[in-house]
Chains A and B, each alone.
Chain A
Amino acid sequence: NAGVTQTPKFQVLKTGQSMTLQCAQDMNHNSMYWYRQDPGMGLRLIYYSASEGTTDKGEVPNGYNVSRLNKREFSLRLESAAPSQTSVYFCASCGVTDTQYFGPGTRLTVL
């Protein structure tokens, strides 16, 4: 039981490049989330998916797209990376107990 896995762990991009962050969970959770964490800001919700086939915007969705491929996987895409998107990205999933389980995070730097 791996919990929540994320790839890659580290990434450096140039401004304008695109990339997809992958996330998968093996706990059969319906809800999945993408957050970014910046110093002094806490975790801010980018997008979430309440169930397979649905996605909704969170607090800071601009510049991102998501795809809930199936119940297990929830990917985050940056179509044209900007330096303001330099951050640590966490994927999380949540079951019926309202306990969130986080992946190990992706440290992204955009030059």
Chain B
Amino acid sequence: RKEVEQDPGPFNVPEGATVAFNCTYSNSASQSFFWYRQDCRKEPKLLMSVYSSGNEDGRFTAQLNRASQYISLLIRDSKLSDSATYLCVGLPGQNFVFGPGTRLSVLP
């Protein structure tokens, strides 16, 4: 079983929709989690860190459920520019563990 798993998608949603991605992790030692965004043929870039109490950054909300070992990312009022691959990342020790990514396409 992979340490970090994600539904690869693609998630095709209309502009303005709300979409949620989940990510599960197997290593309970992971203390920190992140969501990265990767545009086609570009490098990953940090979207937001995920805090235990949940956190919001504009239209983006991240949640962490340690009991069930999953992380979620909610995008409200999706824009065309949100189309990308979203990578879930854990930090169980010294090194980061990346999920395979979930592809989102926001359609006009």
Contact = CB atoms under 8 A, between A and B. Distances in A.
Interface of A: 33, 35, 40-45, 48, 50, 58, 90, 94, 98-100, 102-105
Contact of B95 (A58, A104, A105): A58
Contacts of B87: 42-43
A103 B43 contact: yes
11 contacts: A33-B95, A35-B98, A42-B4, A42-B87, A43-B44, A43-B87, A43-B98, A45-B95, A90-B43, A98-B32, A102-B45
State the majority secondary structure of interface residues on A: strand
Nearest to B89: A100
Interface residues on B, range: 20 to 34
Contacts of B94: 48, 50
B86 to A, nearest CB: 12
Contacts of A58: 95
A100 B99 contact: no
Contacts of A100: 36, 44, 46, 89, 96
A58 B97 CA distance: 11
Contact of A99 (B4, B46, B98, B100): B46
A9 to B, nearest CB: 11
A102 B43 contact: yes
A33 B4 CA distance: 19
Contacts of A90: 43-44
A104 B46 contact: no
B47 to A, nearest CB: 11
Given A42-B4, A43-B87, 12 more contacts: A33-B95, A35-B98, A40-B8, A40-B100, A41-B100, A43-B44, A45-B96, A98-B32, A100-B36, A102-B43, A102-B44, A105-B42
